[in-house]
Amino acid sequence: MDINYELYKIFYITVKAGSMSNAAKELFTSQSAVSQSIKLLENKLGGQLFHRRAQGVSLTTEGEILFQYVEQSYELLQAAERKFLELRNLDAGQLRIAVSTTACSNFLMQYLETFSLAYPNIEIYIKDQSTHSTIKQLESGEVDIGIINLNGSRDSLTVIGKIEIQDCFVVGERFKEICDKPIFLKELVVNYPIILMQKGLNTRKYIDNFFTSYGLKVIPKVELSTMELLIEFAKKGLGISCVIEDFVRSDLDQQQLFIVPIQEIIPKRFLSIAIKKDLPLSSAAQKFIELFQSCTV
């Protein structure tokens, strides 16, 4: 049975208002228009909904049964509209991001802090995981935004921004003397203990390829799972760590770490900020992307 939702709305408001004249005032229309709509609904349903009296209207038995269902439906729709507006106005909702611990603590955190202050009612979920896992969850729609090491392009994803990364070698006070003048990469890896990320991680693959481009096969003294550990090991004088320069900026400024100048140039690389192609984003995700693209934190 194809009945216009507007007819049910007029029926609902008429019941609540107690008369067609009161319903007409609430609907900003005429009493005759309300009466015609009720008659049309009755004709489509094939039965009388109201007893008409001089002082107003009252429901028939059939009308009472219909109203029980219409009331639930109408109020659910009203609640749905309110929730939709809350989401659009960022008074509710959630933001789901997948990122490595390193990128989160050293890049993402500043944007999250700004976003959280601006939209305190948005729930933020952060997943700390590998690029491979993040891509899978982007494609399945489990996360809104992923910060990943993306080599080339991927048909299922759209890259909305990139983070420039410069790798470098750093040392603590113990090996500070090698920072006085540029050193050849071969001399560095042959004569000093090298500390790298563990095998299988994108950062390790990148630096291994860099060594290979100069004919070097490096066996590190220590392999670690996080950038934070690389930084701490270098500070403690346990070797020369290969880290991301921006992530140790404060340590360099405080002279807790020192960059080792090497003759060869480590090419810059990029982290990609990606979303699933053709998947509508939530209002919260859209606003976060706008923050990243336009806000200097």
Q: What pLDDT digit, counting tens, does each position of 99-110 carry?
A: 876 666 667 888
The architecture CATH gives domain 5-88: Orthogonal Bundle (1.10)
* Of 68 and 297, the one with more pLDDT: 68
d(CA 18, CA 20): 7
Name the band, by pLDDT with cuts 50, 70 and 90, for residue 131. Answer: confident
- Distance from chain centroid for Cα 21: 50
Q: For residues 57 and 50, what is the distance between their CA atoms, to the nearest angstrom?
A: 6
What's the confidence (pLDDT) of residue 297? 41
pLDDT-wise least confident of 5-19, 33-47, 283-297: 283-297
In DSSP terms, 147 is beta-bridged to 273
- pLDDT at res. 106: 67
For the chain, give every domain's residue range: 5-88, 94-164+271-294, 167-267
User: What pLDDT score does 55 carry?
Assistant: 81
Helix H, strand E, coil C: the string for 96-137 is: EEEECHHHHHHHHHHHHHHHHHHCCCCEEEEEECCHHHHHHH
Quickly name the fold that domain 94-164+271-294 has.
Answer: D-Maltodextrin-Binding Protein; domain 2 (3.40.190)
Token pair for residue 251?
Answer: 């340590």
**pLDDT at residue 9, as a whole number:** 93
Q: In terms of pTM, does the model score above 0.75? A: no
Q: What is the DSSP letter of 237?
A: T
Provide CATH code, domain 167-267.
3.40.190.10
Does the pLDDT of residue 24 top 70, yes or no?
A: yes
Q: Is pLDDT of 139 > 50? A: yes
Same fold? 5-88, 94-164+271-294: no
